[in-house]
Amino acid sequence: MRTLIVGVGGMTNGGKTTLSQSLNQQIPHSCIIAQDMYFKDDSVVPVDSNGFKQYDMLSALHMDKMMSHVNLWRKYPEAFLKDRSPTHTVEVYVLIVEGFLIFNYGPLNELLERRYFIEIPYDVCRTRRSLRVYTPPDPPGYFDGHVWPMHLKNRKEMESAVSGIVFLDGLQSKEELLAVVYKDVIKKIQEIKEKNVKE
């Protein structure tokens, strides 16, 4: 049984989820684990001196729980598939890990064999964020007072610690982004298959 773990990261509202879901639909025997599903309860997320909830930090996430699910997939990838009775032998199972801080968490980043980071300009990011409804909702000034400064901080930390990231232009169409990443992932899958044949 062969596996491949792909990371789709990027800034808030950059298109991570859309790209990940499109990949999932295109790549057989793949599934998604999304970082946004592991946020801690609002009541335990700390507040800074400006009264802003500190959501854009690893400490606001149950990364231990996320890692336990990733490791469970590594052991039993077939259990995560919607169709658990494939008609033929699965050569490569693919896990798509999606989230805004996946490359900043060492134990997770080490497992990734492909890394993609979607970036968009400040003004586009701010506009998209303002159109999204969050629970709890963003308070006034939250984007400029917390979200964007934390993105810059996290981005700097990521670039200083992680190599092999493919940066993607989030202003491209969904189809263009998918085409680039799909081609690269399929190439990696083929490499894994060929290696398996040689062994």
**Which residue among 36, 42, 48, 169 is the active-site one?**
36
Question: In the chain, which ranges are E strands?
Answer: 2-10, 30-34, 92-98, 114-119, 165-169
Which among 113, 115, 73 is positioned nearest to 93, based on CA atoms?
73
Known catalytic residue at 36: yes
Whole-angstrom Cα distance, residue 93 to residue 107?
20
CA dihedral 139, 50, 44, 154 (to 10 degrees): 90
Catalytic residues, which ones? Answer: 36
